[in-house]
Amino acid sequence: MAWRIEDYALVGDLHTAALVSRDGSIDWLCLPRFDSGACFAALLGDEENGHWRIAPCGEHGCTRRAYRGDTLVLETFWNTSTGSVKVIDFMPHRDELPDLVRIVEGLRGEVRMESEVRLRFDYGRIMPWVRRSGHSWTAIAGPDSVRLGTDPRSHTHSAGFRTRSEFTVRAGERVPFTLIWHPSHEPGPPPEDPETALASTIRVWDEWAAGCAYRGPWREAVVRSLITLKALTYRPTGGVVAAATTSLPEVIGGQRNWDYRYCWLRDATLTLAALVRNGYLEEAGAWREWLLRAVAGDPADLRIMYGLAGERRLPEMTLDWLPGYAGSFPVRIGNAAAEQLQLDVYGQVVDTLFLARQAGLGAEVDVWRLQRALLDHLESNWRQPDEGLWEVRCERRHFVHSKVMAWVAMDRAVRTVEAGDYPGPVKRWRALRDEIHREVCTRGYDTERGTFTRSYGSRELDAATLVIPRVGFLPPDDPRVVGTVTTIARELEHGGLVRRYADPVDIAVDGVPGTEGAFIACSFWLANALHTIGEHTAGRDLFERVLDLRNDVGLLAEEWDPVTGQQVGNFPQAYSHIDLINTACVLSGHEVTPAQ
């Protein structure tokens, strides 16, 4: 693979998203939803698995690129020996069907351009039948149909199972291309004017970004992260995907390759918490409705992740015809972790609903009824071992983070009743909250080393325990908190950042072979924790060091590999941007926290 993960930028329409390389090539696009089969899958293979490149002839790699203001409209610039040009990429917020628009604009002199489209449905496996009608080209295979709209000046033709255009653009000229998906058994929609769609897309994003309440020193980074989280939202249902991709590896050439195009309750709740803290209550309301629909039924059947519309069955399988990003095999779709028990999810859900209510989202009886059911189930099951936050694929353990979040669920329930918002068995919940607290402090704390551990009876560390002061489990100046923060900073350090836990070279650590990079979200957690315990300079220095890992358009993957010096893991990763926002809020004093 020629391009690093951070060499990609994102465009999307709140239903799906495309990744555009610095070479002007769209190498990943799933239609019509985030979790649909990809029609451009070169990201996990090569050009034969589908891509769409527009760039000056003979040029490789752009001069620069940037989003237009606070939008998801990408502008890629090339300076050549004969002139300058830019390509504008965006996806209009759709009414019905997905539409990808690319506009080539001449800036100076004249530039010879080329466009090459290779449509391959079902993750690069199916080569469609292509036919021409005027200046449009339609590709059909099975249920999928894609229409490529071209400009008469582009001189488009089909050859060698690809559609090519060659044209010259001069200063002041704009040459548009459009790509629209529709079900193959239905007629295609009428074409939309690209310039009208561009103006509308810019206006919608500008208006949304203007609602950001953050006014701290890192506003540009916070707004870009909020836009990225919004772009990972599936607007029809309010669900939030963890990332736009599948199987981007946690270490190049490794097997830690997972499908993140689903709605983890944990990631979704944290996303909505970040949005709520910055003034976006409408998204919180939509997510709350999604939650009620998704988890309806027996709380014992709660899933830790769901499909975009609340689907529960997400079977995991491998795509043998794709070699994987930079040879990182296997390529997986679906995710077997959907069947795991992760007790921390209960605390995340209850905590976010509590925060949303405090931030002004109206109280609803159905929401409290849901929480009561979740709390009742947690009350009976919190003593069980689980797979935990990091979704281990080995024997279950009593993870300290899971127990802490069980405490959070009971604590927020107690505070809700004490505030007079809703009725509930507050005496019983209070006693259970105190019992969990005592057990964690007794069984999850290593008195010899002065740190909380990964699981009961273990000496291993877990960066997830950095959240202990954030959620109010212990005060920041408690010696056990200070000891945990300093021990993690020292022993989980990896290239100036932080691992999730000990380097998993031993399969017994988490059940998966191979190693991984430093976890970006955990590095933000440490910056946050350092600031919280009074190490303000160290916290700020670490935060800004992690900020520097963003690519040129402000995006972060899941991890950073200090050995190769590049981003790894699925991209862009909601978790990384969530904790960028939260840490910026804490360090700049913008944090909005529930009353203690």
In contact, 472 and 519? CB cutoff 8 Å: no
- Which tokens in the block code for residue 126? 């199916």
144-149 and 136-141 strand pairing:
antiparallel
Note the maximum CA span of the chain: 77
Query: Which DSSP letter does residue 541 get?
Result: H
Q: What is the chain's Cα-based Rg?
A: 24
The pLDDT profile of the chain, 596 residues, written as one tens digit per residue, is: 579 999 999 999 999 999 999 999 999 999 999 999 999 999 999 999 999 999 999 998 999 999 999 999 999 999 999 999 999 999 999 878 999 999 999 999 999 999 999 999 999 999 999 988 888 889 999 999 999 999 888 888 887 678 999 999 999 999 999 999 999 999 888 888 999 999 999 999 999 999 999 989 999 999 999 999 999 999 998 888 999 999 999 999 988 999 999 999 888 888 888 888 888 888 888 888 888 888 777 767 788 899 999 898 999 999 999 999 999 999 999 999 988 999 999 999 899 888 888 877 776 788 888 889 999 999 999 999 999 999 888 889 999 999 999 999 999 999 999 988 889 999 999 999 999 999 999 999 999 999 999 999 999 999 999 999 999 999 999 999 999 999 999 999 999 999 998 866 556 677 787 788 899 999 999 999 999 999 999 999 999 999 999 999 999 999 999 999 999 999 999 999 999 999 999 999 875 443 32
pLDDT computed for residue 277 by the predictor: 84
Measured distance CA(484)–CA(470) in Å, rounded = 13
- Can you tell me which residue has the tokens 């939309």? 192
Q: Which domains does the chain have, with CATH numbers?
A: 9-207 (2.70.98), 215-587 (1.50.10.10)
- Can you tell me which residue has the tokens 């629209």? 180
In contact, 227 and 14? CB cutoff 8 Å: no
Read off φ and ψ for residue 290, nearest 5 degrees.
-60, -45
Residues in the chain: 596
What DSSP line would sit under 404-455, residue for residue? Answer: HHHHHHHHHHHHHHHTTSS---HHHHHHHHHHHHHHHHHHSEETTTTEE-SB
Please write down the HEC assignment for all residues of 139-176. EEECCEEEEEECCHHHCEEEECCEEEEEEEEEECCEEE
